[in-house]
Amino acid sequence: MTDDLLTDRLRLSRAVPSDLDAVFAIQSDPRVWAHYPSLRHTTPDDSIRMMERWERSWDTVGLGSWVARLRDTGEVIGNGGCTLLGGEVWNVGYRIAADHHGRGFATELARAGIERAREVAPDRPVIAYLVEHNTGSARVAEKLGLELVHRAPDLGNPDRSVMRLVYADRALSSAQLRATLH
C-alpha cells in the first residue's frame, strides 16, 4: 500500500524535509490558530517536532498525518489524516491554510484519513477532539458522521473557560476516552 493518496482535489503524502517551510507557514499563521492561539508554532523547530511525530506514527502503526497538496498546482495547503492516540483511538485531524478555509478541503482530507484508518485497524474508534468555540471544526466532524460523545473543560488550556468536545464514530470505553483527553 502506497502512502500517497489522491482525492478529488488533493494529493496526500508523507511529509519530507523539503515540506518544512510550507508546513511552518501554515502552522505559524495566527488565522489558522484563532481558536487555540497558544498552539501556534512560533519557530520552525515546533513544526519539525510535529513532522517527526507524524513520521513516528507512520513507522509505528502504518498511518499518520499527510501533507495535503492541491492536485492541480502542487501547492501545500494543509496537513491531516489519522494518528493513533494512546494506542486506543484514531484521531482524525485537519489543519488547512487560512486562504483555503471554507472550501471543503478539511472534510476531503479527513474523510481520506478515516477511510485509511478503517483499512489499517477498523476495530479502533475514530475520534475528533476540538474546542467548543471552533464551530467550523465541529461542522467537519459532523459531516464525517462523527457524533458528540464528550464535553468537559479543556485540560491544559491556558483559557480555563474553554470546553473540549470529543466526537466519535461509536461509543468509547473509559480507556478510549482517556486517550483523547491527554
pLDDT tens digits, one per residue of 2-59: 558 999 999 999 999 999 999 999 999 999 988 888 889 999 999 999 999 999 999 9
CA dihedral 7, 100, 137, 123 (to 10 degrees): 20
Specify the pTM: 0.92
The Cα angle at residue 159 between residues 153 and 164, in degrees rounded to 5:
30
Q: CA-to-CA distance for 86 and 45, rounded, in angstroms?
A: 24
Place of cell 491556558: 158
The more confident residue out of 121 and 157 is: 121
Q: CA-to-CA distance for 146 and 180, rounded, in angstroms?
A: 14
Structure confidence at residue 1 as a pLDDT band (50, 70, 90): very low
User: What are the C-alpha distances in Å from 82 to residues 36, 64, 106, 153, 178?
Assistant: 20, 5, 13, 24, 18
Q: What is the pLDDT, as a whole number, of residue 152?
A: 93
Does pLDDT of 89 surpass 90?
yes
Q: Which cell numbers hold the place of 27?
A: 502552522
